Chain A
Amino acid sequence: MAKTVILKIKRQESPKAAARWEEFELTWKPGMNVISAMMEIAANPVTRDGKTTTPIAYDSNCLEEVCGSCAMLINGRARMACSALVDKLDQPIRVEPFSKFPIVRDLAVDRSVIFENLKAVKAWVPVDGTYDLGSGLRIYPTEQEEAYPISRCISCCCCMEACPQFNEDTGFVGAATIAQVRLFNQHPTGKALKHERLQALMGDGGIQECGFAQNCVQVCPKDIPLTKAIADTGREVIKQAIKDFFRG
């Protein structure tokens, strides 16, 4: 008999519906990943025990781990489904939606909080306008090499899902947003908003909620030095807080 792949997928028809599990058995193909497995299911939506079902709802777009869409829990780990190669996973492969974000349907969750956070910390360079103002400021390779890894953050929210402090009680902003603060505060023009960004990270849900569990850096699909970014930014926040206190 042909080699097969077994997946157990957590389904939920709507935010209010009850969750259930469905099991699928698919013909193995070389190079298969969790997304291609779900594409197979869409083309033939039948469970392992022969029941007709519906295609799985999930977010996806680039399938190259650069758009940040297809984040989910695969065998309990927060990761991108497109780069989850079936051959490297224990079976049955357990596929679930993120647990800390509102469910939309099946594996699709609402992660708009990350974009709200980026707004709150003003994660942008305040340029004067888009008209031609000549070259930007010089940036040396050492500075570029420090900034580039952080600029690769895909807003997938894996770091937030894996963080023990990211929950409704703390309202913690999460590692990804803190790293972006670090990125923009280093930029020669981005610096102009440094003060406001650091202030946004003070208080409830701010950077002090971090418990240094280091889960974020372990699950980050882009290997962003998140703990370093948090430590560096943490120091800046304290400095700023002291300054603000004396200026008070």
Chain B
Amino acid sequence: MAINPKIIVIGGGLAGLAATIKIAEAGGHVDLFSIVPVKRSHSVCAQGGINAAKNLKGEGDTTWQHFDDTIYGGDFLANQPPVKAMCDSAPAIIDLLDRMGVTFNRTTEGLLDFRRFGGTLFNRTAFAGATTGQQLLYALDEQVRRYESEGRVTKFEHWEFLSAVLDTNRVCRGICAMELRSMEVRTFPAEAIIMATGGIGAIFGKSTNSVVCTGSAQSALYQQGCFYANGEFIQVHPTCIPGEDKLRLMSESARGEGGRVWVPRTKGDKRDWKSIPESERWYFLEEWYPKYGNLVPRDVATRAIHKVVFENDLGIDGQPMVYLDLTHIDRETLNRKLEGILEIYEKFVGDDPRDVPMKIFPGMHYTMGGLWVDFNQSTNIKGIFAAGECEYGYHGANRLGANSLVSCIYGGFVAGPQAVLYAKNNIKSSAGATSTVFDAERKRQEEANAGLLSSNGTENPFRLWRELGELMTRNCTVIRYNKNLQQTDAKLVEFLERFNHINLSDKSQWANTSFVFTRQLYNMLQLSRVIAQGAALRDESRGAHYKPDFPDRDDKNFLKTTKAYFAPDADEPRFEFEPVDISLLPPRPRRYDMAK
């Protein structure tokens, strides 16, 4: 029995760091792998806050209410027991973060302040200005640095996960990774590994995600035999700032603090926003959803904006954009509560949102789907755990705002101890695995690298990626039609074929970023097929998945988790469906035009 097990954690965002802290605290040793220095992980981008039913506003909020909102917001697709456990743990997680020094906003009494977010009627979201994710990530990063200085954590930053090392019984014995400067490929043994590799935004070209969020690691594991669940559920955030390099998020907290979404009532209204009187502005969310107003869940707001822009043809100046207006709120309040996000708009667009309404449009933001895990965060391959956005467990068909941070930390807090437990119960340690499986995996990856470097075709990987992003954004986001989804999959097969004719303009063996990206691109293409085919199979509308040809939720046929697995011989995904655990809350229709 391993007394002090060695666990590998891949990814240094909130989930990875949370798992790392728990393992180190339990006396284990962590090798922490990350493409970027962990402090630069994508979790820093989360803006608005973190949910916990602390009930500090005298509203009678409870963790059961939080659970109900989360399940309802996710359109009953999430397995309920883990969601309940997360909501029950959330208040203690906030307390812990508070003790770690997170600069949460405060009330006059010095208590934590809470704001309202989408999909709830309670002020349940704790926040640190408009940079909550950054503050939370730093708090965990600091604790991990403390463990690092005590020798309990070893960081491998600028290393990229390539694959798991599986023994002949298909048990995970470690990982194969590549150093991104020397390009050295190496294997690392461990008694268990935890994937915490975040989102898949790059599959959609431009998204709100960071550059490293390619889904490459998840895809590699899917190709090695891990189930990938609910891949078709992609959250499109209603309020993003369109950009050349990415779509920048305009946090839901802008609406939480009173921001109003509107368009001119008249088509082709060329007037400056200021000259449009109140009566000629259409606050369509407030009109359609009087109870929740601008704070309907993201999928609902996104479809509403789509409808107003594409069906009513009322986008500002005929462009795909609507106003998100904060100008009625005084500057002092805006500065105190939203400075960080307003600064982003100012910096990247050039207008001051305190004076001028922002122009926004929906953009790909989050994947509810991810690696399939059981209630202990374990994938179907023994020894591989997963936590955070890379797994599918907590958000069902749609994630509520400010639930991602809590699910990352909670998932990490479960995965860490579970991995330790697994390692302790596993008599055969990784030292017992023969070196042959490690050598074989390293060779397999080295050969893949050599093949890519010597490929002599005509395809530029960055241009192929652009085409992928446009295809996926067009057909696999807000509105889905089976015909388009089938065409998308055919196109993806064509892209995979074109990938065989890649030509790298840089074939050097030092810090070759385009080579690294091209490796990821292959995995993105494979995972894209899971999304497109999964969407095609689900003939209903649920949460973020919307098919005009099947506009209703169909619990009889589709209250099920989609599980994709890779068929190596056919080089394509296969699917099976698993019933959802609805043991705590019977499904009911999800409507936001009235109180629940």
A interface residues (Cβ-Cβ under 8 A, vs B): 13-14, 29-33, 35-36, 39, 42-45, 52-55, 57-69, 82-83, 85, 104-105, 108, 112, 115, 118-119, 122-127, 129-130, 132-136, 138-141, 143-144, 147-148, 151-152, 154-155, 184, 187, 189-190
Alpha-carbon distance between A96 and B539 when the two chains are bound, in angstroms: 52
Alpha-carbon distance between A171 and B236 when the two chains are bound, in angstroms: 47
- Contact B45 A68, beta carbon cutoff 8 Å: no
- Contact B245 A64, beta carbon cutoff 8 Å: no
- Contact A155 B210, beta carbon cutoff 8 Å: no
B84 at interface, CB cutoff 8 A:
no
- Contact A68 B40, beta carbon cutoff 8 Å: yes
Alpha-carbon distance between A61 and B149 when the two chains are bound, in angstroms: 26
- Contact B99 A125, beta carbon cutoff 8 Å: yes
Other 6 A-B pairs with CB < 8 A, given A55-B506, A55-B513, A130-B21: A13-B510, A66-B131, A85-B348, A104-B511, A136-B98, A154-B44
B491 at interface, CB cutoff 8 A:
no
Alpha-carbon distance between A132 and B210 when the two chains are bound, in angstroms: 32
Q: A39-B462, A66-B131, A138-B111 are in contact. Are A147 and B243 (CB under 8 A)?
A: no
16 sample A-B contacts, Cβ–Cβ < 8 Å, listed by A number: A30-B244, A55-B514, A62-B42, A115-B39, A119-B148, A122-B146, A124-B100, A130-B21, A135-B111, A140-B106, A140-B108, A141-B108, A152-B129, A187-B101, A189-B99, A190-B101
| A-B residue pairs, 6 tightest by C-beta | A138-B110, A136-B98, A124-B142, A54-B506, A36-B244, A36-B245
CB distance from A114 to the nearest CB of B (A): 9
> Among the listed A62, A63, A125, A135, which residue makes an inter-chain contact with B95, where contact means beta carbons less than 8 Å apart?
A135
- Contact A31 B143, beta carbon cutoff 8 Å: no
- Contact A43 B109, beta carbon cutoff 8 Å: no
Could you give, for residues 242-286 of chain B, a 1 whenever the CB lies within 8 Å of some chain A CB and a 0 otherwise? 111110110000000000000000000000000000000000000
B508 at interface, CB cutoff 8 A:
yes
Q: What residue of chain B has the Cβ atom nearest to residue A126's Cβ? A: B146
- Contact B44 A105, beta carbon cutoff 8 Å: no
- Contact B36 A189, beta carbon cutoff 8 Å: no
> Among the listed B37, B45, B106, B129, which residue makes an inter-chain contact with A139, where contact means beta carbons less than 8 Å apart?
B106
Residues of A within 8 A of B51 (CB): none
Q: A54-B508, A152-B134 are in contact. Are A43 and B460 (CB under 8 A)?
A: yes
- Contact B210 A61, beta carbon cutoff 8 Å: yes
Alpha-carbon distance between A53 and B505 when the two chains are bound, in angstroms: 7
Residues of B within 8 A of A60 (CB): 211
Alpha-carbon distance between A60 and B202 when the two chains are bound, in angstroms: 14
CB distance from B160 to the nearest CB of A (A): 13
CB distance from A109 to the nearest CB of B (A): 11
- Contact A32 B138, beta carbon cutoff 8 Å: no
- Contact A151 B508, beta carbon cutoff 8 Å: no
CB distance from A244 to the nearest CB of B (A): 23
Residues of B within 8 A of A127 (CB): 96, 99-100, 143
Residues of A within 8 A of B39 (CB): 68, 115, 155
CB distance from B363 to the nearest CB of A (A): 13
CB distance from A152 to the nearest CB of B (A): 6
Alpha-carbon distance between A144 and B144 when the two chains are bound, in angstroms: 23
Alpha-carbon distance between A60 and B98 when the two chains are bound, in angstroms: 30
Q: What residue of chain B has the Cβ atom nearest to residue A59's Cβ? A: B36
B520 at interface, CB cutoff 8 A:
no
- Contact A43 B466, beta carbon cutoff 8 Å: yes
CB distance from B490 to the nearest CB of A (A): 24
CB distance from A5 to the nearest CB of B (A): 11
- Contact B510 A54, beta carbon cutoff 8 Å: no
- Contact B243 A36, beta carbon cutoff 8 Å: yes
Residues of B within 8 A of A66 (CB): 44-45, 131, 134
- Contact B350 A132, beta carbon cutoff 8 Å: no
Alpha-carbon distance between A57 and B180 when the two chains are bound, in angstroms: 11
B447 at interface, CB cutoff 8 A:
no
> Among the listed A45, A67, A108, A126, which residue makes an inter-chain contact with B40, where contact means beta carbons less than 8 Å apart?
A67
Residues of A within 8 A of B142 (CB): 118, 123-125
- Contact A63 B25, beta carbon cutoff 8 Å: no
B413 at interface, CB cutoff 8 A:
yes
CB distance from B159 to the nearest CB of A (A): 14
- Contact A63 B98, beta carbon cutoff 8 Å: no
Residues of A within 8 A of B460 (CB): 43-44
Alpha-carbon distance between A136 and B340 when the two chains are bound, in angstroms: 24
- Contact A42 B514, beta carbon cutoff 8 Å: yes
Residues of A within 8 A of B143 (CB): 124, 127
- Contact A55 B505, beta carbon cutoff 8 Å: yes
Q: A29-B244, A119-B148, A144-B103 are in contact. Are A62 and B347 (CB under 8 A)?
A: no
Alpha-carbon distance between A155 and B577 when the two chains are bound, in angstroms: 45
Residues of A within 8 A of B242 (CB): 31
Q: What residue of chain B has the Cβ atom nearest to residue A15's Cβ? A: B510
Alpha-carbon distance between A189 and B139 when the two chains are bound, in angstroms: 13
Q: What residue of chain A has the Cβ atom nearest to residue B96's Cβ? A: A130
- Contact B148 A132, beta carbon cutoff 8 Å: no
> Among the listed B131, B243, B462, which residue makes an inter-chain contact with A42, where contact means beta carbons less than 8 Å apart?
B462
Alpha-carbon distance between A187 and B512 when the two chains are bound, in angstroms: 43
Alpha-carbon distance between A190 and B505 when the two chains are bound, in angstroms: 50
- Contact A63 B128, beta carbon cutoff 8 Å: no
Alpha-carbon distance between A52 and B503 when the two chains are bound, in angstroms: 13
Residues of B within 8 A of A58 (CB): 513
Residues of A within 8 A of B348 (CB): 31, 33, 64, 83, 85
B585 at interface, CB cutoff 8 A:
no
- Contact A83 B463, beta carbon cutoff 8 Å: no
B308 at interface, CB cutoff 8 A:
no
Residues of A within 8 A of B146 (CB): 122, 124, 126
> Among the listed B36, B139, B347, which residue makes an inter-chain contact with A69, where contact means beta carbons less than 8 Å apart?
B36
